[in-house]
Every structure is written in C-alpha cells, then in structure tokens.
Structure 1
Amino acid sequence: MIEARDTGAPETGRPAGGRDFRPEDDGKRGRRKKKRSPKLLWGAVAGAVAVVAAAAAGAVVLTGGDDDKSAATGLSNGPGVLPTAYTPQMADRQMARIAQRSADQRPMTQGEVFSNETKTVTYQNYSFTLAGSQLSGDCKSVTWGQRLHDDLAKAGCSQIARGIYVSQDRKYVGQFAAINLASQEGADQIVRVMDPATKSGFVLPLLAPGAPKFGGGFSAAYAQAYGHYTIVTWVQRAGGARPASLNEMIDISLAVEKPADFVWGRLPDEGNGR
C-alpha cells in the first residue's frame, strides 16, 4: 500500500518535500485502499466488454469520439498544472498477461473506456456523472512538459482517453485518463515521471461546458500502471479548496477510477491463451 503525499505545490503555500498529508479523522495517513471488483471470469468479462465496445462505437459521434468532434462539443484542455498530492503505484503481477501491447493489440475505443456503466459512478456517499470524454491519438496534444513528452514517445504512447466527472452536488470534480503504451516498463516509467517532484509534466485536464473549472488550488492524483496502460485519477473540490482530510480525496478518486475496469476485460484467458 502506498501513501499519498503532499507535494508542496505552490497553490498550497507549503514547502516542497513530499510530506504526508495527515487526515484528522481516522489516523490512516491518507492511505488509499484500492477498490477491487471480482474479476474471476476473465473470458466472460472480455466478451462483455467487446459487446459494449461494439455497441458504443456508433455513439462516439454524440460523445466527442476524437479531437475534432470534441471541439465541436465544446470540450477543451485545461491549464498545464501539477497535482498537490500524488500517489504512484507500479503494475502488479495480475497484469503480466498484458505487459506488452503486442498481446493486446486492439486500440482503445471511447465507448469501451467510458461505457454506459461509467456514465454515473459512485463510491460510498459520492456520486459522479460523466460530463465529457475524449479519445486522442496525439499523446503530446493532451499532456504538457518536454520530459513527459519525450518519455511518452519513447514508451510508444499511441492513445490517451480522458474523461471529466462532476459530482451530483457539484462540490467535486474528477479527471480520469488511460494512457496506452507499448509495454509495462513504459507504463511504470510514465507513473514515475509524472510525479510532481520531478516537475516533468502531467496530463492536461479535460474541460466540459457547464462543468466547474479544474486545475487551480488543491488536487490529488493517483497513478498506477495496469500492464501496458497507465491509469490516472485526479480529483479536487470544486474551486480547489483544501480538503479537511486526504481521505476525502481518496474516496472521490475511488468513484472516478471506475472506467479503469476496461483493462480487466482485456486480460487474456489463462486457459485458452486469449
């Protein structure tokens, strides 16, 4: 288990140095307990995802399936800023079967990542609605930072899917991003290079018409390698106010990370080599 830490971003007025953000409510020091859904029937899950992806392909035009359509729907990039708190996590052994993109060659689709099941996401008392999503084949255009751009190119970045979520009470905003890379080694490196301590760059937040602005003030991001994918969940209070506890940000992130479930559907079945 990895602890989230305060990176001392300028917005907080705190010195740099990666201090723990100690929540006052339960003494768990901001530990992020990963939500794990049962993923035992790999073949059945993969089939279900394939059906969802095929069914959603025709809906891409309505939801901004590429950069040009995103512009038509009013989606845009937010400012190039760094999260205040950041938790990196490398890939685990469960994802070894898709450690290489050569074992998972089908490109992501917007309907697969942001399926009907992820239009509304919940965790505990938090509920969020997808306000906009975008799938880009130009990794450089939806990220910032020269070193990050260089590492994305070296890691064979081919796609980045992004979504913006707004809580039903409009008090919170969340960003989700899935980065398609050539290998798990590259995915782990992107998790490392996006650490705000390196000041190397980050994913640009996706903005949607009518959604609260995202990027200024206090925010917390959680990045993990899932095989050859890097998944980023980035959350904040609307307006960027500092939360009373980092556990508040953790709970929000556990709702917003729901689209990451698409990765489980891409794991080949161990029995037949799919």
Structure 2
Amino acid sequence: MIEARDTGSPAAGRDGAGKDFWPEDKPRRNLPNPKLLYGGAAALVAVVVIAVVAVVVLGGGGGGDKPAAKALPTAYTPDFSGDGFSKIAQRTADSRAITEGEAFSADAKTLKQGKYTMTLAASDLTSDCKSATWGARLQGDLAKYGCTQVVRGAYVSPDKKYVGQFMVVNLASQDGSAQVLRDLDRATGAGWLTPLQPKGVASFGPGFTAAYASVYGHYAVVTWVERAGGARPDSLNEMIDVSLVVENAGDFLYQRLDLAGNGAS
C-alpha cells in the first residue's frame, strides 16, 4: 500500500476546494483525507513501462476510438465514510431518477479549480447498468443492490494533457454503494466501470491512471484520471488535484441531498 499525502496540493489545508456551487450554509464537498493508493512498488515500475509503450503505440497522444479493454486504475482509493449523506442513504428518500439535463447541466460543462480546467467531451446516462460495466461479480452485485442508472462523463483539459472520468452509480441503498466500492478494488477481480473515450486523445486506461471512489448515500461516485496517453505523473498530488476538479461534476448530488432534507425527492 502506498500512502500519498497531498501536502503539496494547492487545495491542501483548506476546508473547501475553492468556491463551490453551494452557498456557505449548505453541505459542501469535503476535501479527501490523505489518499491511500493501492499497489506495490513493483506494480508502479511495470506501469511506467506500460505507459511508455502506450505512448509509442498510440503515437504520443493521437486520438483513440475506444478506451482500453477492461481497463483498471493503477491506483485506487475508496472512501466509505459517506459523511453528510445520511439523509439519502436509502433511495426511497431520493426516488426521482437522474436526468441528462441534471447530470450534464451548463454548470457541469466546464469545471475549474486552481490551475486546472476540464471540459465535458463525452457523456452517457443509461438504465442498463450491465452495459456500462464489465465483470460478472460486479454486475451481479449491481443487480443484487438495485442499480437503476449509471452516469458517465469524460472530461479533457484544453491542452489535452489530462483526461478525467466522472461516474455515478444509482443504487437502492448505501449498503449497495459501499459494496460497489469494495468490488472496484482491483484485488477482488470483480470488474470495473467502463470509461468513455473522448475524441482527439489517446485511448483511456492502458497506462498510469488513478481512481477515487466515495459513498454519497445510495450513490457510488467515482473519479478516474490520467495524463492523456497514460504517462506517469510527476507526483500523485497532480492526480489528486485533477480528480478534485472532475469531482465538481457531482454538485447535482448535493442539490438532491438538499431537496431530501426539505422533504422533497
């Protein structure tokens, strides 16, 4: 296990990550605790080799038609705390289905934080949870825990240096979202969510990528980021900072939390 503390991050040490969508008296996204990134040093060495090969094969960042088949993140950090989302721990308190207009609103088209800007380049909202995932065990748990929707958005920086995936899995309860986070640990071999492939950048997934997953009540929320082409970042703080930008796409879930608190769903 590799522990990566974001002490060098521009966002470190603050109780909020820049001005958020929510007013000061509303629930706000908590900065993550130090990220615990899974994988051994030997795996990292192997990934560097893979990343170099990927850049050569893909022409140093040319467009890819599809993401890597059955891609898995090199580093994965789950957060099971669910802090602040107890009001929507059950879907019965938040029964309205997610809509495209809600998930991919004007506010979600361009995300900015610190020195990073990410623009929505591909999106998908499906009620067929199996079609957005791979792996028999993961797909079995999605069915068991009542998955009804998977939201996916792919973001690209203006210079095409970074690519990020934002994903939301709508489950019946927080027990289900926690189980999905356990399944996504690559050591389980359960499977993973399938990333989208934005146009004009190398295929997502064959090199170094980092994923961060959180329990938002009955939603499992995943951000998955890379340097385009899979090049190893200068530091893991770089991936953490990019992931925090992409996580801003989840502001609509805070609105749902607010509505549930007011007795609406």
Tell me the TM-score range normalised by the shorter chain.
0.7 to 0.9
Q: CA deviation at 1:26?
A: 3.9
Contact 2:156 2:163 in 1 (8 A): yes
**C-alpha deviation, 1:35, in angstroms:** 3.6
CA change 1:39–1:78 in 2 (3 A) is farther
Cα distance change, pair 78–216 in 1 and its aligned pair in 2 (3 A): closer
Residue 188 of structure 1 aligns with an amino acid whose one-letter code is A
- The DSSP-based 3-state class of the residue aligned with 1:225 is strand
The answer to whether the Cα contact below 8 Å between 1:77 and 1:142 also exists between their aligned partners in 2 is no
Letter in 2 for 1:242: R
Contact 2:209/2:224 (<8 A) preserved: yes
Alignment CA distance shift 1:108-1:124 (3 Å) = same
| Residues 66 and 203 in structure 2, CA contact (< 8 A), matched pair in contact too | no
Partner residue, 1:9? none
Task: Report the CA distance between 1:77 and its aligned residue.
Answer: 6.0
Which whole-Å CA distance do the structure 2 matches of 1:201 and 1:263 have between them? 25
Question: Which among 174, 179, 182 is matched to residue 184 of structure 1?
Answer: 174
Measure the CA separation in 1 of the matches of 2:25 and 2:8. 36
Please give the alpha-carbon distance, in whole angstroms, between the structure 2 residues aligned to 1:117 and 1:136. 21
Seen in structure 2, the aligned counterparts of structure 1 residues 248 and 137 have a Cα distance that, compared at 3 Å, is same
Match of 1:264 among 228, 231, 254: 254
Give, in whole Å, the separation in 2 of the partners of 1:81 and 1:272.
40
Offset from partner CA, 1:22-77 (integer Å, 9 cap, x none):
78x849xx99x8748345666xxxxxxxxxxxxxxxxxxxxxxxxxxxxxxxx966
- Determine helix, strand or coil for the equivalent of 2:225: strand
1:198 corresponds to: 188
Q: 1:218 to 1:120 in 2, by over 3 A?
A: same
Shift of the 207–124 alpha-carbon distance from structure 1 to 2, 3 Å rule, reads: same
Unaligned runs of 5+ in 2: 27-64
Question: CA RMSD, aligned part only?
Answer: 2.8
Residue aligning to 2:102: 112
What is the TM-score normalised by the length of structure 2?
0.76
Residues 81-115 of structure 1 show CA distances to partners (whole Å, capped at 9, x for unaligned) of 11011110114341111111111111011111111
Conserved? CA contact 2:126–2:150, under 8 Å: yes
The two structures have a TM-score, normalised by structure 1, of 0.74
| 2:130 equivalent among 133, 140, 144 | 140
Q: Deviations for 1:203-259, whole angstroms, at most 9, x for unmatched residues?
A: 101113334320111000000010100110000001101111000000100111111
Q: Which residue of 1 aligns with 2:144?
A: 154
* Secondary structure of the corresponding residue to residue 206 of structure 1: coil
- How far apart, in 2, do the equivalents of 1:207 and 1:244 lie? 24
Selected match of 1:99 from 73, 89, 96: 89
Aligned letter for 2:2?
R
Q: 1:265, CA displacement in angstroms?
A: 0.7
| 8 Å CA contact retained: 2:67, 2:203 | no
SS of corresponding position for 1:265 = helix
* Correspondence for 2:243: 253
Identity of aligned residues (%): 51
Partner SS for 1:253: helix
Letter of the structure 2 residue corresponding to residue 243 of structure 1: P
> Structure 2 vs 1, CA of residues 273 and 124 (structure 1 numbering), >3 Å: closer, same or farther?
same
**Structure 1 stretches of 5 or more lacking a match?**
1-17, 43-74
CA distance in 2, matches of 1:99, 1:231: 13
SS for the counterpart of 1:221 is strand
CA–CA separation in structure 2 for the residues paired with 1:138 and 1:159? 7
8 Å CA contact 2:136, 2:190 repeated in 1: yes
Cα distance in structure 2, aligned partners of 1:78 and 1:260: 25
Aligned length: 224
Q: Which runs of 4+ in 1 moved over 6 A?
A: none
CA distance in 1, matches of 2:5, 2:258: 40
Question: What residue is the counterpart of 2:2 in the other structure?
Answer: 19
Aligned to 2:204: 214
**AA at the equivalent of 1:20:** E
